[in-house]
Copies of this chain bind each other. A is one copy, B any other.
Amino acid sequence: MTPRILIQTADFDAAAEVAAMTRDRRDIGAVVTFTGLCRDEGGRLAALELEHYPGMAEEEIARMVARAAARWPLDAVTVIHRVGKIAPGAQIVLVIAASSHRAAAFAGAEFLMDYLKTSAPFWKKEHPIDGPATEWVAARDEDDRALEKWRA
């Protein structure tokens, strides 16, 4: 299983990605897709700006996918993470996990999202609607705690 891993400024088309993944396949029973969208945080946000560590980001995601594939029977995985400035309502991240088993597809996709949040070298900066002062988003304890469920 060779994952498709992309880091790009351009938007992505989740449906086209799913179609490409399942085309000509008759053995995939379950496809779980996670799409992360830019929230406006109650109207406070003009945009998010995403920075990443080129090279390491792709490698770290590939390591996560390898761990997920070792743990669950995944037939195909796609991860696309956008960088640069992203407007509220726009797409930020896409994870697709396909398997013959739905539990594996759900677990694989959620595992990848939890590790993307905490281990992939991306950083978000907020551009508020009411001024030029930007602020780096702080890491959340909640995201670290989300990893606990994978340590069982």
A-to-B contact residues, CB < 8 Å: 13-15, 18, 22, 24-40, 42-43, 88-89, 100, 102-103, 105-106, 109-110, 113, 146
Asked if B15 and A39 sit within 8 Å, CB to CB, the answer is no
- Give chain B residues whose Cβ lies under 8 Å from the Cβ of A24: 89
A45 closest partner in B (C-beta): B26
Interface centre among A34, A40, A43, A102 (most CB of B within 10 A): A102
Chain A interface, >50% SS class: mixed
State in angstroms the CA–CA spacing of A13 and B19 once bound together. Answer: 11
A27 contact from B28, B40, B105, Cβ within 8 A: B40
* Count of identical protomers in the assembly: 2
CB distance from A30 to the nearest CB of B (A): 6
**List of B residues within 8 angstroms of A34 by Cβ:** 30-33, 102, 105-106
CB <8 Å contact, B35 and A33: yes
Give Cα A113–Cα B103 distance, bound, in whole angstroms.
10
Give the residue of B29, B37, B38, B39 whose beta carbon is less than 8 angstroms from that of A36.
B29
Which single residue of chain B is at the shortest CB-CB distance from A117? B102
Contact of A22 among B32, B43, B89 (CB under 8 A): B89
Residues of B within 8 A of A100 (CB): 39
Which of B13, B26, B103, B106 is A106 in contact with, Cβ under 8 Å?
B106
Alpha-carbon gap, A33 to B106, bound state (A): 10
